[in-house]
Amino acid sequence: MVNKLLKNKIFTNVVWLLSEKIISIVGLLFVTSYVAKYIGPDNFGKLNISVYYYSIIQTIALWGSDTIGIKRISKNLSSGLNFLFSFASYRFLVFSIVAAITELYLYFTFDKLTFYFSLAVCASSLFSVVDVFNSYNEARLKSFFNVIANVIGIFVSLVIRFVIAHFELPPIFLSISIVCTGLVPFIIRSIIFLKTHNTYTVKSIRFRKEYVSYGIVTGTGLLISSVSVMIYVNISRVLLGYYNSLSDVGIYSVAMTLGTMWGFINNAIVVSITPKLYSSNNSNTNETTAFTCQILMLIGFGYFMFFYLFGNFILESLYGKSYSAAYIVTFFLIASTCLSGLGMAISRYIISLNGYSYLAKKSFFVVLLGGGVAIFLISHYGLIGASMSACFIELISVSFLNLFFKTDLMIKLFINIFNLRKFFSTFVGIYKQRE
């Protein structure tokens, strides 16, 4: 039963993940805004261009291996470790090739500062790509190690950024803080892994070519899915700039921030429960996924009501009246974020049933459908149309399109999701167990 799966260790893992995100949001909100004011919108834009490029490159280099690694570790520790360390070489190779091509493009297309920023982001991303310890800690429900490493990395990076801005040093020095963002957590996680595992365990890790081949084939579907999502997420901003104005893009960006900032809670919950999905039988997996979705829906409703009551105040206090149009738009994006969380949980369920190929096909179709819907709604309804398209596509993706994968199991899942009596009985069971 579900109440036997959700033990204290999972809740502890969620708390650690949430604490990291809260610290990150608070730190980045104050320090990054301070830096942005100092270096100006032009240079800040150059920095973000580099980050945008390498977020895609990093996704390509990972090739879905983080999800595959978590699944294998949940089933067999030795096999999972061998897979992650073996596939790390392929990650490095893919990253090096794509990054080299990208750097050549940036060198001949943009100015020197943009190129220097891109090199720094490249170095930071490389450490993240070869960092297999992050996935290992997630699979073993030891996210507190990741939190410790990430928080220290963020702290070091933010201190360096603050010093650079405070003493008005040349913007190029920000490259140091960028590199530290990936380097410091990688070093800390490596040390923790070596300190918490005996010599025999470390020496037993072997490079195996068959794991690389397996990762390439199995991860291709996840790769297409991940890249497709990144394209879909950014298409509304591009189309708004084309059909409307940059002012609307700015308002939509504010609405995106306020509408999606709580999404890290969904991610923390799903990441913590994922190992249980991969190690349970199909009956329990279905129930666990349904219960997870119910929790995410409850949290989404809570944030929706919070923004309904305080949204106008937050907008005027932080951004001013010129961004008042973001208030209505944000509600659609809150709903979209909630649906996206449900989609993430159900996708992990599908992965537990080896539905990699289906997810790849679905993601590709969602990008095509999303592009068409976004073009129609944005060209006719502008700002509201952009948020409506995001909400509509997430709804179709999480409901109708999932019915094409093992229809009987999906119908059972949706029935369980809307079974409120079972939700409350499960919740009470968990509460009594924790006592």
Q: What is the pLDDT of residues 238-281, one digit of tens each?
A: 677 678 765 677 677 778 878 888 887 888 788 777 666 665 55
Q: Are residues 227 and 135 in the same domain?
A: no
Q: Is residue 155 part of a domain?
A: yes
What token pair was written down for 237?
A: 């901003």
Q: Is residue 212 part of a domain?
A: no
Q: Is residue 83 part of a domain?
A: yes
Name residues whose C-beta falls within 8 Å of residue 422's C-beta, 6 or more positions apart in sequence: 290, 416
Q: Are residues 8 and 157 in the same domain?
A: yes
Q: Are residues 183 and 257 in the same domain?
A: no
pTM metric for this prediction: 0.66
Q: Are residues 271 and 127 in the same domain?
A: no
Q: Are residues 404 and 267 in the same domain?
A: yes
Q: Is residue 215 part of a domain?
A: no
Q: Digits of tens for pLDDT over the chain (435 positions)?
A: 445 544 556 566 666 666 666 766 665 555 545 555 566 546 655 666 677 778 889 989 998 888 888 888 877 888 888 898 899 999 999 999 999 999 998 899 878 888 998 899 999 999 999 998 888 887 787 878 888 898 898 889 888 988 887 888 888 898 898 899 899 999 999 999 888 877 656 666 777 888 889 889 888 877 887 787 777 766 776 677 678 765 677 677 778 878 888 887 888 788 777 666 665 555 578 888 888 888 899 999 999 999 999 989 887 776 767 778 889 999 999 999 999 899 888 888 888 788 878 887 887 888 888 888 989 999 999 889 989 998 998 899 898 888 888 888 889 889 988 887 777 776 666 555 555
Range of the domain at 174: 1-207
Burial of 221 (0-12, 13-18, 19+ CB in 10 A): buried
Q: Is residue 35 part of a domain?
A: yes
Domain count across the chain: 2
Q: Are residues 202 and 233 in the same domain?
A: no
Q: Is residue 214 part of a domain?
A: no
Residue at which a domain ends, from 142, 177, 207: 207
Other CB atoms within a 10 A radius of the CB of residue 321 amount to 9
Q: Are residues 199 and 257 in the same domain?
A: no
Residue at which a domain ends, from 207, 229, 251: 207
Q: What is the pLDDT of residues 364-414, one digit of tens each?
A: 888 888 888 989 999 999 889 989 998 998 899 898 888 888 888 889 889
Q: Are residues 385 and 241 in the same domain?
A: yes
d(CA 278, CA 284): 11
What token pair was written down for 274?
A: 């994922």
Q: Are residues 381 and 307 in the same domain?
A: yes
Residue at which a domain ends, from 145, 179, 207: 207
Q: How far is CA 143 from CA 151, 152, 261, 419, in A?
A: 12, 14, 20, 31
Q: How many residues does the chain have?
A: 435
Q: Are residues 165 and 233 in the same domain?
A: no
SS (H, E, C) the chain: CHHHHCCHHHHHHHHHHHHHHHHHHHHHHHHHHHHHHHHHHHHHHHHHHHHHHHHHHHHHHHCCHHHHHHHHHHHCHHHHHHHHHHHHHHHHHHHHHHHHHHHHHHHHHCCHHHHHHHHHHHHHHHHHHHCCHHHHHHHCCCHHHHHHHHHHHHHHHHHHHHHHHHCCCCHHHHHHHHHHHHHHHHHHHHHHHHHHCCHHHHHCCCCCHHHHHHHHHHHHHHHHHHHHHHHHHHHHHHHHHHHCCHHHHHHHHHHHHHHHCCHHHHHHHHHHHHHHHHHCCHHHHHHHHHHHHHHHHHHHHHHHHHHHHHHHHHHHHHCCHHHCCHHHHHHHHHHHHHHHHHHHHHHHHHHHCCCHHHHHHHHHHHHHHHHHHHHHHHHHHHHHHHHHHHHHHHHHHHCCHHHHCCHHHHHHHHHHHCCHHHHHHHHHHHHHHHC
Cβ proximity of 209 and 218 under 8 Å = no
Q: Is residue 213 part of a domain?
A: no
Q: Is residue 65 part of a domain?
A: yes
Burial of 187 (0-12, 13-18, 19+ CB in 10 A): middle
Q: Are residues 142 and 178 in the same domain?
A: yes
Q: Are residues 229 and 197 in the same domain?
A: no
